[in-house]
Every structure is written in C-alpha cells, then in structure tokens.
Structure 1
C-alpha cells in the first residue's frame, strides 16, 4: 500500500523550516528561500547517502562489488544473491567516490575497497579483455546472463571501465598505495581488446562467447545507451578502433542524425525505437553520461546536452499529458525507464507504458531537469511512505495498480548518487573528462567539448 509519510523525514522538514524561519535579521522572504534551499540540500544528502549504501553496505563480500539485485523481501527468482554485475559495479565504484566527497566514508576506506575490487577484476573471467555481464561473486567465474550470453559483454565492460578510469583520476596524484591502484586500473584498461570485437568490420559487437562465438549477432548501431563504448574503444591506447567504425557502425552512415519532434522538442538523434514513440527509456540519458560530460559535448551528429535534456523533458511532458489516464502521473510523479514491473522486468517509456514509474529515471536526470527532478524527490520523501527503504527509493511502483515491491537493482540505484553529484558539483564529470586517453578518443572521433580546450 502506498501511503502518506509521517516519520523522520517529516520531522526533518519541520526542523529545517523552523531553523530557517526563526533566524533573526532576515526578511520573511529570505527566510522562506533559505528554508527551501536547506530542505532541498538535506533531501539530496539523504538520497545520495542511502543509494551509496547499496554499493557499500550491500556489496557482495568476496568481490566487494555491487550485487545485481537486493530484495528486501528475500525472494529471489534464481537464488542469485551472489551474482555481481559489471555495469552496476562500474556505477558503484563511482558512487564510492561520492561517498568520500560527501563524508559518508573516508578516503582510506574507499581506497581499500576499490583496490579489493580491482584485484578481483584482474583475476575474474575475461574474454579478449572484456568481462561478462554477470560474475559469480565468490568465484569470479562467468554467470551466464542467458544461454548464449556466457562470454564477453563489451557494453557492460564499457560501463565498468568508465567507472574505473574515473577512480584512477581521483587517486592519480595520491600516495604510493593510491598510485598502485591507478597503475592496476591502467593495466585492466589496456587489456580490453575493443578492436577484436569488431570482427574486422566497421561496427562493434556487443557479445562474444567461447562456446557460441558470435551467435548472438548484436552489432551496436543507432542511438541507445552505448555511446560510451564507442568513445572508450576509440580512446584505447592499445586496442583502438578507427573513426570509420564509429561513423559507419554506431552512426549508421549518418542516419543516426535523422531526428524528429516529440512533445514539441527535437529528439536530436534517431532513437530507432519500435512502437509509437520516437524516444527511449531514460537510462539512455544516464549510463553513458555518468563520467562523460554532455555539457558542451557535440559532434557532427548532435548536441548531447540538448539530446539528454530534451529526452528527460519529453518524459516529463508525457507524464503531464498522461494519455492513458494513469493514476498519479503529473508534475510530481514522472520518469520511465527499464525496471521491475507487475509483469517482471520491462523497458518502460512513453510508447511502452504500463502505468509504472521508476524513481531512478527522474532522480538521475537532475543535471538536465533540476526543478522537475526536485519535485519528484520531494514527493518521494515528504509524501510517499512505503516507496523508500534502506537503500533509498525502491526500484519501481504503480499507483494505477497499487503495486510496488521492496526490491532494488544495481543498474537503477547506481546512477542516482552519481548523477546527483554531477548536478551538485560536477565531480565525476570533471574526473573522467580529465583522462588523457579519453580526450584523445574524443578528438579522434571529432567531438567538441570544453574539456578538450583546456591546457
């Protein structure tokens, strides 16, 4: 049952308002403004701390990495409590940096955990340098994601490498132990054989299996969540790809730039979705951009800030329009992405709408839609009782169906603390974009960015 909240968060609000309004030598207008800012800052701290804890307290102990899922009801579909995930793990190492900067843990604690993770990754199963989608946490052996998906997953590997390179920049000028971590990460980075995953063609393939070869046959092209994979492939100092792979494979010989207008906003790129909407789930605006800063980022195909901001605003406007008349949709409840649903895992978006809202969608969009995302954050923490648990907002809910489960997914919790921190301080964006290999890769593919102009 989704109900109104009457607990510590309400008391927090009262305390903040009282402190701000009781301060002397302020006009009532200034006091009200200060109270609002203090409340909003406090809520951001709370949600960042809770979601960070998913990756800190909730980590699988042998690997130190993010569990694929944590179900507070202890009901697991495949008894998979020990599965660790490479993509969610990459988001998690970035969340650990947020934990240091926000004072949740010390730098020394972070270093110890991150070295543990990096050592584990160096011994875990890899396939031409790429990790699989899932690993068995205690053993480091591949856990098949599906029958033929039992080998290298280049997209999940890219999400992990994005996180690791960000960590390396954070510790680059540190002490001897920190320098060792940086060197260990560089070794893992240089061992990924991005060029091998082209099969000699002008496109990157998502999967390869030692048992099934290229049978999954998934060339990655057309706009989706995978931009970071192509950028890292071009940036690799050891196994790089040529610009033709990006232009012909990812950009489909320029067809990726065939945009349209949806809810009055240009989509900027062609999302190549099937169905009634020319857009995608909102994780497409998050996963590649946890480290890759879209501010001022452009290439010959599009403006990536405009792309992501419009993507988030389209979701917001869709919720306001609410063409299906679902209960709850509006300015305080919006955002659709791949998450749990009444029918299992589903790729929610305007053209595939089951009446389910996924909190990570709006919360991870803070850099693009700060006002609209804050409205949603306030709704969750000040009004909606049962939607918040130990590790922050639960994965998904539906007022229309009076449904939610006390369950979490790493790939949904991870972007929340990271993208909120990018909104607040730019921390992860600034670190990743400083990496010299990344800068070379962006230049190689013809990108423009303010970070490429810095001396």
Structure 2
C-alpha cells in the first residue's frame, strides 16, 4: 500500500442538498448505465443540516455503490483496489463489488440487465485468464488468484502472492451472484454456471501444503516458504467455510479444529469475546454469512454465537476510544472505529483493544460496517462523523478511507475492501437480504455443517421458473424530490395498484395502472407537495402485495 502525506481538510463547500445531486445525476446519466448520481456529484447535504438515519444510510450505500461502478476498467470489468488511476485490481474488492452491484440493482441505481452484464464481464475476465505456475503472464494458479491483478491485462502485478483469503472474498461474491441471479433467464443461467466454474476450480486443499491448516499464500519464486497458516480468529473464517464446502477440492474437517485452536478468549471493558483488535476481522465473514443462532462447538461452549462475538468486540472497540489511553484528539463515545486503513504514515492494521498500531487514525468503515451488530452506537457515530468532520471527510464516494484529527490528516482515497463492507452490512441491517439468499447456498451450508456449526439448514431451493409473485424494485432516484420511478413485474396481466403511506400509516398517494405479465414495467410516483421524510409504498396485483420504503427530500 502506498504511503500518504499529511493533508489539511479540503476547503470545498458542501453541495446544497442531496436532492440537487440526485436530480443533476439523473439528468446527466450516461452510457455507464448507472441511474441517479454521476460519479463526480457527491451525495451529500449542505453543512449544518442534519440527515435522518434513512437519508444518511442511503447516501452511504449509494456512494459506496458508485465506487464499484466507476472505479472499474469497463473493458474487462476489473475493479480497482483504491481510487487512484494507476491502481491495480484487488480480487477481494472484486468480490465485494459483485455483491455491491446486486444491491445497486435492488435499489434501482442500475437496471438488472446492465448490472448483470457488468458482473458477468468481470467474472468472464477472471475465468478466461491464464492460470499456471509461471511468475508472469498469469492471473492465478490452481484456481486461486493473485492478490493484485493489472487493471488492463488482468495478470499478476507487484510480484504479489497467490492469496487464499483474497480468493475467498472473491468467491464469496461469486457465490452471491449465483444466488442472486436465480431465474431461468438464459443470462441468469450463464452467471450461475460461471460462478460454479470459478468456485469449483479452486484447489483449496493444495493450499494446505499437506499441513494442518490453510496457508496464507504462495509465490512462484519461493513457494510456501514465507507464508504461515491461517489460525486464530480473524477475517479468514469465511475462507475455511468455503474451503470446507467445496464440492471438488475440500479441506478436511480437522482444519476447523486447527483454526479455532488459535482462538484467544479475553475480557476488555466488561466484554468477554474471542478477540481480534482490528474491527474488519469481525466484519468480513459476516458480510455474507448470517452467523446469528448458529454457534460452532467453540462458541456453543461459551453460550454465544459469532454475531454476538462481533457485537461485543464492537462495544469494546468503542469503550477503548472512550477511555482514550493514547489521549488522541476526538476519540469518544461517537468517534471510534479502528481497523486496517490508510494513515498519515502509509497503511496499517489499527485496532483495539488491546492497542495495535493505534496512532489516532479513525476509519469510518470500522463503525459503519458494524451496524448490524450494534446500530444503537453505530448510527450516532456515523452522524457525528458526517456532521462534525464531514467537510474534510466526505467526498464523491462517501466517507474517505480514514482521518487523523490528532495529526490533522485527512486521507484522500477510498478503498474497495472498505467500501464493500459498508454497503453490504447496511443492507443486512436494513433487510437481511444478502444473508437470506447466501444462507441458501448448498456449498455454504455444507461448509458450515462440516465445521460443526449447529442449527444450520437451508430451505429447499425452488427450481428457477417463471415469475410466481410480484417483483418490486427500489424506486429511483431515492431519496427523491418531485417524482421517482418504480420498476416492477407481475405474473399475470391486469390492474396494479401503487399506494404510498407516511410513517403514521396514512395513505398519501394512490396510482392505478394496467400491467403486462412477466415484463419489467414502470410507474412514476409523484411526490410533489409531500413533506420530507420516510415513506412506505406497496404494489398490489392479483391479491398479492409487496412493500418497500422510500425517502422524500425537499
């Protein structure tokens, strides 16, 4: 990771209103296919004006989506590691980006057709690239991928390692694409086949090198010589689950026992949990896997699950910043969150408790990506960062990667591996949709069962077929001022009714229309004259009804 010079906060003024950016982006949207906000129009609200929880979370998700949509080589679909023109592709960012784009489709920020094409392009590039043991001219070996790929050629760059954890994060997104594109549409079928091909090609067992655990990496120049095993609690939990669930190259069940043998159960600030100081280790695996109510043997013996473990780690991280043993500027109940990020001296895995590389650097993704675990402390922290520090911290992709008030340093970059957890974990907090579909994947379920997780079961997956219910998409733009468009499909032709309700349950808009069967259609909802705030809308057809929420901003 490249170093950073100290920088003063940017002097630019906040744009007038969120709605201005949305309206301008809608008018200026181009061939990239994204709706609403153009890349160079930050989604934000004028300084001094508080956002609702809904508006802040929507802005964070939308700007994170924009990162993955625009920080890409449109020719091959590879996503940049960070927001620099010369940045290579990070295969972990690619995995996060796949899921981010599916969320963008659900929110109406891009159509299913355009979003699916972008995801497919990146997956095809990875599948069609050359694999082999050579040091150059390849993108991976044994089905795994190098940590960083040249953004143009798609081949190994920076003499980096064949990375097991980054391959796992990529495959997490690949399997999510398989779950999301689940109809008999030929293009959905193609995505699922491509996902199976990529995942089934990975030789996880090779990366044990005959040992008890999975090695962190391999290089053609030195082999496994400089790489240890993944052991003890950290971000690699999802690596072991996917490796255990592989239908082609699974690792033995003893690898999970080996992995947990390195756990350390500690108590900090009245919180007892398996510790790992940087918060990303408590978040990455949870982006896709819903660990609520499914403890493994280790956690069952302690009466909790991994979700609760992450909740306790989140509270301990906040308590550390309240105690502020390093006397850093700003640390407190609403300014906390240490994780791996840029800092004034380069890049480091900041964490606490106990203090690890803590130099006063706060990374917004640390708090934001903990929102499913502890929204009651995360939301105030996000509002505080936005309201108090936003002038130097907020930009076109939302919160910048990190800032250090003690050293008066504001990072200027955004990183894919930090943006991804923001959009995904907010989505899981709002509706659990990523968790819900991911936990239906047979390979994920198999991996969890082989690891000894309890209460794991997947509902029988229906055979993909014709549309059987209402398919209701998120309105776009959202938030909106004036009018917004709602896309939908219904299984039978006939009348449809769209109703908009305020938070007191009062019907404030009523639209009748005729719909064709199966095809994606649109209704325009007129919000003029309605006050700012959160609303709910329903679409009813043939005795069926679906709901979504929206936000109006004046």
TM over 0.5: yes
In the alignment, what sits opposite 2:55? Answer: 42
Work out which of the residue numbers 198, 210, 235 in structure 1 matches 2:208. Answer: 198
SS for the counterpart of 1:220 is: coil
- RMSD over aligned Cα atoms: 2.2
Residue 173 of structure 1 and its aligned partner are, at CA, apart by: 2.2
**Superposed, which structure 2 residues align to 1:121-270 within 5 Å?**
121-124=126-129, 125-144=139-158, 146=160, 149=161, 152-248=162-258, 250-252=259-261, 255-256=262-263, 258-267=264-273, 269=274
Q: CA–CA distance in 2 between the matches of 1:11 and 1:428?
A: 27
Contact 2:318 2:336 in 1 (8 A): yes
Contact 1:201 1:245 in 2 (8 A): no
SS for the counterpart of 2:75 is: coil
**Superposed, which structure 2 residues align to 1:290-305 within 5 Å?**
290-302=287-299, 303-305=305-307
Contact 1:2 1:399 in 2 (8 A): no
Query: 1:433 aligned to 2:451?
Result: no
Query: 1:285 aligned to 2:282?
Result: yes
Where in structure 2 are there 5+ consecutive unaligned residues?
A: 1-7, 20-48, 130-138, 300-304, 461-554
Residue 112 of structure 1 and its aligned partner are, at CA, apart by: 0.5
Contact 2:445 2:458 in 1 (8 A): no
SS for the counterpart of 1:236 is: coil
Q: CA–CA distance in 2 between the matches of 1:110 and 1:11?
A: 24
Residue 123 of structure 1 and its aligned partner are, at CA, apart by: 2.1
Q: CA–CA distance in 2 between the matches of 1:405 and 1:218?
A: 31
Residue 6 of structure 1 and its aligned partner are, at CA, apart by: 6.7
Residue 10 of structure 1 and its aligned partner are, at CA, apart by: 6.9
Give the length in aligned residue pairs. 407
Contact 2:92 2:167 in 1 (8 A): yes
Residue 296 of structure 1 and its aligned partner are, at CA, apart by: 1.4
Query: 1:324 aligned to 2:337?
Result: no
Q: Higher strand proportion, which one?
A: 2
Residue 145 of structure 1 and its aligned partner are, at CA, apart by: 5.3
C-alpha distance 153-231 of structure 1, shift in aligned 2 (>3 A): same
Q: CA–CA distance in 1 between the matches of 2:314 and 2:401?
A: 18
Where in structure 1 are there 5+ consecutive unaligned residues?
A: 13-35, 75-79, 272-278
Q: CA–CA distance in 2 between the matches of 1:218 and 1:326?
A: 34
Residue 321 of structure 1 and its aligned partner are, at CA, apart by: 1.2
Query: Which stretches of structure 1, 4 residues or more, deviate above 3 A after TM superposition?
Result: 1-12
Contact 1:55 1:65 in 2 (8 A): no
Relative contact order: is structure 1 or structure 2 higher (C-alpha 8 Å, sep ≥ 6)? 1
Work out which of the residue numbers 50, 62, 73 in structure 2 matches 1:60. Answer: 73
TM-score by structure 2 length?
0.70
Query: 1:114 aligned to 2:119?
Result: yes
In the alignment, what sits opposite 1:446? Answer: 452
C-alpha distance 181-390 of structure 1, shift in aligned 2 (>3 A): same
SS for the counterpart of 1:261 is: strand
Q: Higher helix proportion, which one?
A: 1
Q: CA–CA distance in 2 between the matches of 1:57 and 1:443?
A: 38
SS for the counterpart of 1:242 is: coil
Q: CA–CA distance in 1 between the matches of 2:248 and 2:309?
A: 31
Q: CA–CA distance in 2 between the matches of 1:324 and 1:370?
A: 26
Contact 2:204 2:251 in 1 (8 A): yes
- Greater C-alpha Rg: 2
